[in-house]
Structure 1
Amino acid sequence: MSSNTGATGAAKFVTSTAGNTIGGLSRTVGDVVGAASRGLGNTITSATGSAGRPVGNALSDAGTGVEDGVNRVAKGIEDAGNWK
């Protein structure tokens, strides 16, 4: 008997849909935060030159770190929703 029938199948469908939706939304937020931080960091570096480069680089790096972290969490949410 398949484990994807009856109540188990319904539960897997609901959790998969919820997990994929939440994971996708999380990735979107992470991507936006990462892009915005990198853009702000690049703007600071461009506007201030070498004096502002450490601050600009720090903002860019922080944004990339947030983006990477959120993407890992999103993957975990999606995997949990798919019963992995």
Structure 2
Amino acid sequence: MNNSSNSGVTGGVKWVTSTLGNGTAGVLNTAGGVVGAVGRGLGETVNGVTGKTGKPVGDGMKDIGDGIEGGIGRVAGGVKRAGGGEHGPLR
């Protein structure tokens, strides 16, 4: 028996939105990972160069990078779920 929710135009739309959602989520996760890594690297560099004096600044840079990475990861997850039809009119 053919599942009408996954055939014809609806099936095509789901495939396109799923593909776009997964691709966009992948790009966002990559960008978030890069921002997080840069923030951690810069923070470690500041800590290494300045010692205790610059530690609050270095730790702050690491925290900002981690926060941005986590936020982008949550957005990417939402995009992926939405692209899979788990939210909105295609569910």
Q: Shorter-chain-normalised TM-score: which range?
A: over 0.9
2:65, 2:20 → 1: CA distance? 26
Residue from 59, 70, 75 that aligns with 1:57: 59
Residue from 42, 46, 49 that aligns with 1:47: 49
Runs of 5+ unmatched residues, structure 1: none
Runs of 5+ unmatched residues, structure 2: 87-91
Give identity over the alignment, percent.
49
Q: How does 1:1-84 map to 2 (within 5 A)?
A: 1-2=2-3, 3-84=5-86
1:5, 1:42 → 2: CA distance? 53
After the TM superposition, list the runs of 4 or more consecutive aligned residues in structure 1 that deviate by more than 6 angstroms: none
TM-score, normalised to structure 1, is 0.98
TM-score, normalised to structure 2, is 0.91
Q: CA deviation at 1:23?
A: 0.5
Deviation string, structure 1 residues 20-53 (Cα, Å, up to 9, x no partner): 0001000000000000000000000000000000
